[in-house]
């Protein structure tokens, strides 16, 4: 047996070249991104608590003592996003190459709106993430306020941004698209890895829908509360 045949790196590459390998990468990175979405939401919901709480939370995350861990988390997140998009595009190409001519009569009865728009919602959500960073991290959309030098006033910046109906509207639209993407991604992840059964699949779909709806409600509640004057 050759050295190449038993090379672990070679085995990983060969596994990824197969469709199941790409689906596995999408599933793994999807779990990472789903965890980030949940953690990000829990952090943002602190704006409904004590007025200083979300600023204390932000200060803790950006404490110089935690800088190393923060950059490790950011790097892992960026890598997950890149691999998720790459695997998605490659699977899409494989699907098109396998059937270059579309069906004469397309039956969408079993397809969901989310599954038909996955290729569109992904790039839109990516554009939103860039906008979100420019807005609340860089300050390129609305000038950022600070409590002290290099200590942003996160609460004030969120309120100032979401007081603009256009920013809030775009945010809500992006969250809705994110959650349709999340809904389809959650249940299809299990299906892609072989966990598909007439008894379990409907339950997986229902659970994915509940998770996606709760995340949408939580995220959209922030700009809505700001515009309604409930968060000042």
User: Do the domain assignments include residue 61?
Assistant: yes
Confidence of residue 116 (pLDDT cuts 50, 70, 90): low
Please give the mean pLDDT across all residues of the chain.
Answer: 80
- pLDDT confidence of residue 109: 40
**In what helix (H) or strand (E) does residue 59 lie, and over which residues does it extend?**
helix 53-61
User: Do the domain assignments include residue 59?
Assistant: yes
Residue 107 has pLDDT above 50, yes or no: no
**What pLDDT digit, counting tens, does each position of 77-95 carry?**
888 888 888 888 888 788 7
Dist CA 10 CA 149 (whole Å)? 50
Dist CA 63 CA 151 (whole Å)? 10
Range(s) of the domain holding residue 68: 8-227
What does the pLDDT average to over 62-81? Answer: 85
Pick the more confident residue, 12 or 5. 12
Residue 184 has pLDDT above 90, yes or no: no
Residue 2 Ramachandran class (φ > 0 left, ψ -120 to 50 alpha, else beta): beta
How many structural domains comprise the chain? 1
User: Do the domain assignments include residue 42?
Assistant: yes
**What pLDDT digit, counting tens, does each position of 126-177 carry?**
777 788 778 877 777 788 888 877 788 999 999 999 999 999 998 998 898 8
User: Do the domain assignments include residue 221?
Assistant: yes
For 88-132, the DSSP string reads: HHHHHHHHHHH--S--SS---TT--HHHHTHHHHHHHHHHHHHHH
Q: Helix or strand or coil: residue 148?
A: strand
Pick the more confident residue, 118 or 199. 199
User: Do the domain assignments include residue 1?
Assistant: no
User: Do the domain assignments include residue 3?
Assistant: no
Pick the more confident residue, 76 or 91. 76
Confidence of residue 224 (pLDDT cuts 50, 70, 90): very high
The pTM of the full predicted model, rounded to 2 decimals, is: 0.80
User: Do the domain assignments include residue 17?
Assistant: yes
């Amino acid at each position: 047996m050759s050295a190449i045949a038993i090379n672990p790196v070679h085995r990983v590459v060969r596994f990824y070249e197969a469709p199941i390998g790409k689906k596995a990468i999408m599933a793994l990175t999807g779990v990472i991104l789903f965890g980030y979405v949940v953690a990000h939401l829990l952090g943002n919901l602190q704006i409904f608590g004590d007025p200083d709480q979300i600023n204390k939370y932000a200060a803790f995350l950006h404490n110089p003592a935690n800088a190393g861990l923060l950059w490790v988390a950011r790097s892992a997140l960026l890598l997950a996003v890149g691999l998720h998009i790459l695997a998605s595009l490659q699977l899409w190409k494989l699907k098109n190459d396998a059937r270059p001519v579309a069906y004469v009569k397309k039956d969408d009865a079993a397809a969901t709106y989310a599954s038909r728009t996955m290729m569109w919602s992904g790039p839109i959500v990516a554009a939103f993430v860039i906008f979100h960073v420019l807005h609340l991290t860089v300050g390129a959309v609305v000038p950022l306020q600070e409590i002290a030098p290099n200590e942003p006033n996160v609460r004030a910046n969120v309120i100032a941004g979401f007081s603009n109906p256009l920013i809030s509207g775009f945010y809500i639209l992006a969250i809705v698209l994110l959650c349709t993407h999340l809904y389809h991604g959650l249940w299809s992840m299990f299906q892609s890895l072989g966990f598909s059964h007439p008894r379990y699949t409907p339950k997986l779909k229902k659970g994915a829908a509940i998770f996606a709806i709760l995340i949408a409600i939580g995220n959209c509640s922030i700009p809505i509360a700001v515009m309604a004057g409930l968060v000042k």
